[in-house]
Structure 1
Amino acid sequence: MDKIFIRGLKVETIIGVYDWERHVPRPLIFDLEMGADFNAAAASDHVRDAIDYAAVMAVVQKIATDHQPALLEALAEKLARALFKDFPILSLKLAIHKPGAIPVQDVGVEIDRRREDYAACGAR
């Protein structure tokens, strides 16, 4: 399977379960790997046949800043559903890093989803 990746996308947003976290935007770092079929884009050399990286980035930024959930897990799932809905991707590996959440080098969540995970429950 062909893959598109976006690494290190930084978005400032409100996220967290504690009151003090709900008042000050903090950075989240997103890493995405999307499986897709590149055959049409490779043959045509037209962006209309490809997945637009900037459009993917805009979806991530909009959802992260508008949704403002308590948990990274909720944000990850909302992003996965939106990306499968808006783009012809077949798989998604998504990591969300929350720098400074606890005193360690890195902390966050990672999900791995396939398009058929959502087709089974009626969501696309």
Structure 2
Amino acid sequence: MDIVFIEGLCVDATIGVFDWERKIKQRLRIDLEMAWDIRQAASTDDLQYALDYKAVSDRISEHVAGTEYELLESLAEELSELLLNDFSISWLRMKLSKPGAVPTASNVGLLIERGQRGDR
């Protein structure tokens, strides 16, 4: 299984359970690993056979900008479903971080895996 990854994608989101959080944008960080068979893209040198990480990044940013959530869990679930469906990804691992949410921690968040691992 080949992995296409995106590290440190920053998006601004309306997210949180407190009233003050509902009035501001907060910076989230996304690290993403996605299963993708790169052999056809490699042999043809053609983007149409690759998992376009720019398109994936843009789709995530668009989605987050247009939505509001209380929980990271809700955002992670919705993003993973969106990516699996929109890009025909068979498996992904997503780390969704909310730096600054806990002042005494350098970072907090969650890590999820969705889909089936293995050859595509």
TM-score, length of structure 1 as denominator length: 0.89
2:101 alignment counterpart:
101
AA aligned opposite 1:69: Y
CA distance in 1, matches of 2:108, 2:17: 15
Deviation at 1:8, TM superposition (A): 0.4
**Aligned residue runs from structure 1 range 3-82, under 5 A:** 3-82=3-82
1:89 is matched with 89
**Contact persistence 1:36–1:88 (CA under 8 A):** no
SS at 1:40 equivalent:
helix
Percent sequence identity over aligned pairs: 42
Higher RCO (CA-CA < 8 Å; seq separation 6+): 2
**1: CA distance, partners of 2:22 / 2:116:** 33
Superposition CA RMSD, Å: 1.2
Query: Following TM superposition, where does structure 1 have runs of at least 4 consecutive aligned residues deviating by more than 6 angstroms?
Result: none
For structure 2, the residue ranges without an aligned partner over 5 or more in a row are none
SS in 2 for 1:84: helix
Task: Supply the AA of the counterpart residue of 1:65.
Answer: A
CA deviations on 1:46-95 (whole Å, 9 max, x unpaired) are: 00010111110011111212121110000001101110111132210001
Q: How many residues align?
A: 116
Please tell me the residue identity of whatever aligns with 1:91.
W
Q: Which runs of 5+ in 1 are unaligned?
A: 117-124
